[in-house]
Amino acid sequence: VKRAKASGHAESYLPQDLAIARAQFSMETALRRAIENRELRLAYQPICDLATGRIVSFEALARWTDPQGNVHCPTDFIPVAEESGLIVPLGRWAIEEAAQTLALWDSRHGGPCGVKVAVNLSAIQLQRDAIAPVLGAALDSTGLTGDRFTLELTESAIVSDPDRIAGTMHALKALGTTLAMDDFGTGYSNLAYLQKLPIDILKIDRSFVTGMLADRDKVSIVRAILSLAQALGMKTTAEGIETNELAQTLAALGCTYGQGYFYAKPLEADAAFAMIGTGVSA
Ligand code: C2E
Ligand code: MG
Ligand code: MG
Ligand code: MG
């Protein structure tokens, strides 16, 4: 976090830079310990079929409460994990933990419980780790099949190293997984990748969904993404659905799935399990 003053010595630091560097380093140290000491958990947020209201999957979202009781947000600690390389062990842990939770739900259900689990993959993690073998090992150890998993990638992963990512995506498809493009519409990318890569679902970013009922431009963007997905034979998930009215509107526009506080906030595994099969009326 070094920044040269406009006029002055190149190696001078602004006091706030030093503070940021210290905070970053201490979060990195704490995060390393958190991964070793298993302070991280996954929360599970339902994703519903907009036409029927049934829960089809749960997105697994990392949560971290440190021993002092401080809750850290993923939007703060995931970037630190990416910069420090800790995203590799964190990402492996997320895949293994999600698999174990899903296997537990199946055993409590007395057979496959009927939902998938969606795990986020960061661009840096995809560059540095071999994800398909990691998932393969988790499938072997739990007895789950790959079709119970969705992997969420962002456009930045594709921009960074298209050939490597294509190989990883095909390997993940060969395991039977579903692939979703997360935060679609927010990243800079050449849309040509959409027809070249095996993407099943476009997740419409929350920024287009929030407030769309009062904003014609947002509705136009959402419509455009829905028709693009339809033309390419992909399904769609709208993020950030906070009201019934939004759920109804997106269902009427032909969006396949929905996720957001209207259905549920991210939940502890037990609370998520209790929701399976209940559905939320559309
Ligand atoms: P994301 O993958 O786009 O996840 C959706 C985020 O939107 C989650 O934030 C979720 O809690 C939030 N959200 C869902 N519905 C609503 C809603 O109706 N209203 C509002 N205001 N927010 C809603 P969260 O859990 O804070 O995670 C933030 C981001 O951190 C995620 O965005 C994802 O990019 C990243 N992340 C979280 N867990 C992991 C992980 O295990 N691995 C990686 N690589 N990234 C993760
Ligand atoms: Mg996601
Ligand atoms: Mg998302
Ligand atoms: Mg998002």
| HEC profile of 167-182 | HHHHHHHHCCCEEEEE
CA 190 to chain centre: 21
Q: With contact defined as beta carbons under 8 Å apart, do 277 and 111 qualify?
A: no
Q: Hey, whose CA ends up nearest to atom 11 of ligand 1? A: 266
Give me the pLDDT at residue 1, please: 38
Give me the interface pTM, i.e. the ipTM: 0.98
Give me the pLDDT at residue 17, please: 81
114 CA to centre of ligand 1 in angstroms: 23
Give me the pLDDT at residue 161, please: 82
b (16+ CB within 10 A) / e for 181-209: bbbbbebebeeebbeebebbbbbbbbebb
Q: Cα(206)–Cα(104) distance, rounded to whole angstroms?
A: 31
- Joined together, the tokens standing for residue 179 give 């692939």
Give me the pLDDT at residue 282, please: 42
Length of the chain equals 282
Alpha helices in 123-259 (DSSP H): 123-128, 131-142, 155-160, 162-174, 193-196, 206-209, 216-231, 244-252
Give me the pLDDT at residue 13, please: 73
Report, as ranges of residue numbers, the positions in the chain whose pLDDT lies below 70: 1-11, 279-282
Give me the pLDDT at residue 4, please: 45
Residues touching ligand 1 (Cβ under 6 Å) are: 45, 61-62, 73-75, 78, 91, 94, 120-122, 152, 182-183, 206, 239-242, 259-261, 266
Pocket residue to mutate for ligand 1, from 75, 82, 95, 120, most atoms within 8 A of Cβ: 120
Give me the pLDDT at residue 280, please: 56
Q: Hey, whose CA ends up nearest to atom 41 of ligand 1? A: 62
Give me the pLDDT at residue 14, please: 77
User: Which atom of ligand 1 sits closest to the CA of residue 94?
Assistant: 41
* Residues around the ion ligand 3 (C-beta < 5 A): 182-183
Identify the CA nearest to 124 among candidates 78, 169, 170: 78
**Host H or E run for residue 72:** strand 71-72
